[in-house]
Structure 1
């Protein structure tokens, strides 16, 4: 029986970074993976494949350049699901190699199998046809989550599927109902619409992506409608079933019946409402750790569970459940486990990225939050159509909004929509992290032409408003 300083369960972003951090501290490390591939949802079913699919859709349809070149920028007239998945698969294979290489270089033992706690420091790992026991002084649980699949929905991974199943489609459908207007639902709805799929999105709230600044969310909803997406807001699905459809020939369609009585039909349906934890079968009761009804673990500010030697990070602990935050959580959990101080951790400056079409990103406060908190602010806005780089890229819809404190001129929030939004937001994040003001953007030179110029334009716009110019 082998003993380790730490055993990590799950090779997703939290597990990866936790394992490398432990190895850098000179600790003996093992990482356990129950799937037959590395990387968890981030690499195989979530972040990487969905973003790869988005880039493939933008390239093959020419959508990123339509403002300048119209249909002439389309790389392929008839796009197949094979075209899209092939690009994604190449990226995924590369990421597998990168992760495996990192483990090998840092001396991390990779163990394939399903982990089950037999005692506080004893782990059973069940592999294909064999099992082994290992012990450790500390553990990091980073087993992730899976898409929620209610029992009353007839999932078949062909016509009715979750985000995991969408990536396994054998053909590009003509129509799709998307249930759920969260990040996953809106990303895939906009990507499919870009590919020419007739999309209907059903969301129980009256605003998509409710955590966004309402102006950005409103602009995004307008753009989706312009792309042909039908938004059924404030609606809830009562029943999902397959029905026969007669239109000259007999075919099978998916029908979603809404609580309002509306009946929606399409070739396919993507169910994207919530995710479910997977730690319930890990024997955590043998350690004294409890979990909630969605199999999520509760942790403190150091990512420590109620049992001192067991930590948890990533999607399994719930919000914000981002690959970027999971990486840092895993690193910080291991650092704390071995008495390392990793310094300040400003959770107020987490950036959020939505890889929809168009791209959206934000950091800091929204207008609604500042108003609710009684913070005096002004909004400076720059639109891509007034930025030379925006014209060159053919992006007519992009915008950047900067929220400026009326008295100190400090930056309180940055909200972007358009090309490169998830990259552009980090400029504002850095200035906010260093307590900078809007004058920073006025008094510094930016490369020209770049989208970063939008910060200077937004700063002038906001400060001019404050000066009543």
Structure 2
């Protein structure tokens, strides 16, 4: 059995910097990776998808150039093979840089294999050559992440389908792409493939796309996706998927909303207020959520507790119920974002290496969906404020009233802020618009600083920026919450 001062399971966006800092602090450290260095973000998440979003944006601008009074000689064509090669080149570059960083760090060893616990702080690693080795350390950090959750849809095991990981491996553009799921990953991928030339259909079982968001935010996003040409079904239960030669048929029941059960390729059931609908596609993407990669770790042999969904339980310092074993990133549950995982690393660093007292409690977690326009979100939504019984007012501003948006032709979207009714402090915001994530970050910092909306209302911003219209957002009359 080989002994180290620290073992890190998973070479993702928390595991790599943590392992390097532990090693630089003089601890003999091993980082264990079963697939490839870099985790989801570099290999099949942020890096490749945002690169492809960039390509799709160029295709969209060229295709619609006449809007700006610019004409092209002929309809644009998309060289998907070149896009795929560019994506893979950047992924390989980032991955290679991450791996070299590990290999060049003194006191740090990279072990390629799959880890599982066999006892108290004892790991067995099944190496890629099939052999096994055992390791132990007083400190163990689990950054093993999540994988796609596949729902029990009848017929799914009989058809060829893709996940957000395997879809990115395609070297040719899908002719027609059917997406089951209507949240962040589904919508980003749906729009980018639509803009590159695929015919896209999105099927979501909840009444709204992005069911965690406020209804007006979800409605705004659904509206601009449909106007762009993406077919969207909500409140739809998938009943069956079937392979039909080179295509896949998806049958689902769409519950009527607002008394309307009529859609293309459907027939209405007037007794139940629903419609039985079917669509076909050359490719099927399953984007219905993720699950923690904790079962294979055999955590029970180390006495580590998990919740009912197999997420690892941690305290405010990210330590599990077993002293010396910590969990970081997606595998511990909560918002599954790269920046959350990285901040988890910072908390561990501050406490273990620098002997400080940092906690994950009360963290303000921003996020951005990279559709075009973007959705930038931070703090409380209107739904959450109501659920918590907080007295609040809402401020909204259409992007059609933002000077910079009018000047650049990016008038799709809205700004929305939630403000405490009594203290006037900003509680949360949703920005749908060009550079929405950047504008959201302005309000994130205002929330962190404890600023009131008055400070933003009368503050001076450079003209003409999108952020400048935060002045105008708070010039509007706040709408009081109905629950207060």
TM-score, normalising length: structure 1: 0.88
2:247 paired residue number: 253
Contact kept, 8 Å, 1:22 with 1:335, in 2: the verdict is no
CA distance in 1, matches of 2:74, 2:168: 22
1:38 paired residue number: 37
Residues 69-110 of structure 1, C-alpha deviations (whole Å, 9 max, x = no match): 377489981113323322322321232133234435543322
After superposition, residues 47-446 of structure 1 pair within 5 angstroms as: 47-62=46-61, 68-69=67-68, 72=71, 77-104=76-103, 106-107=105-106, 108-129=108-129, 130-150=131-151, 152-154=155-157, 160-244=161-245, 252-259=246-253, 261-291=276-306, 294-333=309-348, 335-337=350-352, 340-343=355-358, 345=360, 347=362, 349-446=364-461
Residues 42-94 of structure 1, C-alpha deviations (whole Å, 9 max, x = no match): 11112221111111111233279859537748998111332332232232123
Contact kept, 8 Å, 2:373 with 2:435, in 1: the verdict is no
Q: Structure 1 348/10 Cα, relative in aligned 2: closer, same or farther at 3 Å?
A: closer
2:4 paired residue number: 4
Contact kept, 8 Å, 1:383 with 1:454, in 2: the verdict is no
Shift of 1:202: 0.9
Contact kept, 8 Å, 1:213 with 1:415, in 2: the verdict is no
TM-score, normalising length: structure 2: 0.85
Residues 176-229 of structure 1, C-alpha deviations (whole Å, 9 max, x = no match): 111011211122122222223222111111111122222221111111111112
Shift of 1:153: 1.5
Shift of 1:306: 2.2
SS at match of 1:269: strand
Contact kept, 8 Å, 1:63 with 1:194, in 2: the verdict is no
The total of aligned residue pairs comes to 455
SS at match of 2:295: coil
SS at match of 2:165: helix
Say if 2:20 is the partner of 1:17: no
1:249 paired residue number: none
Q: Structure 1 320/59 Cα, relative in aligned 2: closer, same or farther at 3 Å?
A: same
Contact kept, 8 Å, 2:312 with 2:331, in 1: the verdict is yes
Shift of 1:167: 0.4
Contact kept, 8 Å, 1:68 with 1:393, in 2: the verdict is no
Using CA pairs below 8 Å that are at least 6 residues apart, which structure has the higher relative contact order? 1
Q: Which runs of 5+ in 2 are unaligned?
A: 254-274
CA distance in 2, matches of 1:298, 1:304: 8
Q: Structure 1 409/449 Cα, relative in aligned 2: closer, same or farther at 3 Å?
A: same
Q: Structure 1 218/161 Cα, relative in aligned 2: closer, same or farther at 3 Å?
A: same
Contact kept, 8 Å, 1:60 with 1:74, in 2: the verdict is no
CA distance in 1, matches of 2:309, 2:56: 34
CA distance in 1, matches of 2:134, 2:74: 53
Residues 236-293 of structure 1, C-alpha deviations (whole Å, 9 max, x = no match): 112112114xxxxxxx210112145322211111111122332322232321224456
Residues 112-159 of structure 1, C-alpha deviations (whole Å, 9 max, x = no match): 222222332322323233443322111111111211235751476xx5
| Residue range with higher mean Cα deviation, 61-70 or 405-414 | 61-70
CA distance in 2, matches of 1:229, 1:451: 27
Contact kept, 8 Å, 2:316 with 2:360, in 1: the verdict is no
Shift of 1:16: 2.2
Contact kept, 8 Å, 1:66 with 1:394, in 2: the verdict is no
Contact kept, 8 Å, 1:304 with 1:333, in 2: the verdict is no
CA distance in 2, matches of 1:63, 1:455: 30
SS at match of 1:361: strand
CA distance in 2, matches of 1:195, 1:74: 19
Q: Structure 1 75/329 Cα, relative in aligned 2: closer, same or farther at 3 Å?
A: farther
SS at match of 1:43: helix
CA distance in 2, matches of 1:224, 1:445: 34
CA distance in 2, matches of 1:80, 1:155: 32
Contact kept, 8 Å, 2:191 with 2:371, in 1: the verdict is yes
Contact kept, 8 Å, 2:167 with 2:285, in 1: the verdict is yes
